[in-house]
Amino acid sequence: MFFTSDNEVTELASSFYSRALPLSKWDASTQLTVTLYFALRFPYRMAADFLRERVMAFSANAYRSDEEASKLDAAIHHWLHTAIVFAKDYQNIEDLSALANIFIAKHWKTEAPYDTVLDMAFLDADTARFTVPEGMEGEMLIA
């Protein structure tokens, strides 16, 4: 993912915030961008609580046990800290999209910050074959 404007970053964070972000978009670059955005825009505790609640919603209750919840908390704190240190190192850059692009570029080789439960290949499946050709609505299609 490459951002060309601050609005793109803000819209991504907004869709995450409002729970309108499709699960298929919850990849490593989105996770890094959203973490950076909330690290920059919210107090630390609020950002951590907010990320925890939304990541748990995205992960289909994957963090049910105390151990799994603790692992998520550790990941959130690690990535928020990483984002804050990064922002301080690059404080001379005011463009949010440039910051997000650099942050992604510096960390793209790492695993996604927050585990996902679903196989991303499932989300990338070609669903075009499930559409009904125009004019054929209501007819039995045999493959």
pLDDT given for residue 31 in this prediction: 94
pLDDT tens, residue by residue, 34-46: 999 999 999 999 9
3-state secondary structure 8-67: HHHHHHHHHHCCCCCHHHCCHHHHHHHHHHHHHHCCHHHHHHHHHHHHHHHCCCCCCCHH
Whether residue 11 is predicted with pLDDT greater than 90 in this model: the reply is yes
When pLDDT is cut at 50, 70 and 90, the band that residue 61 belongs to is low
pLDDT given for residue 133 in this prediction: 52
Whether residue 129 is predicted with pLDDT greater than 50 in this model: the reply is no
Global pTM reads 0.77
Mean pLDDT of 117-140: 49
pLDDT given for residue 134 in this prediction: 57
Residue-range domain boundaries for the chain: 6-118
Nearest Cα to Cα of residue 1 among 79, 123, 118, 100: 100
State the Cα–Cα distance between residues 63 and 65, nearest whole angstrom: 6
State the Cα–Cα distance between residues 123 and 24, nearest whole angstrom: 5
State the Cα–Cα distance between residues 116 and 60, nearest whole angstrom: 8
pLDDT tens, residue by residue, 19-35: 899 888 889 999 999 99
pLDDT tens, residue by residue, 64-90: 678 888 888 999 999 999 999 999 999
State the Cα–Cα distance between residues 66 and 50, nearest whole angstrom: 18
Q: What residues have CB less than 8 Å from 37, skipping those under 6 apart?
A: 9, 10, 12, 13, 96, 100
Q: In the predicted model, what is the mean pLDDT of the chain?
A: 82
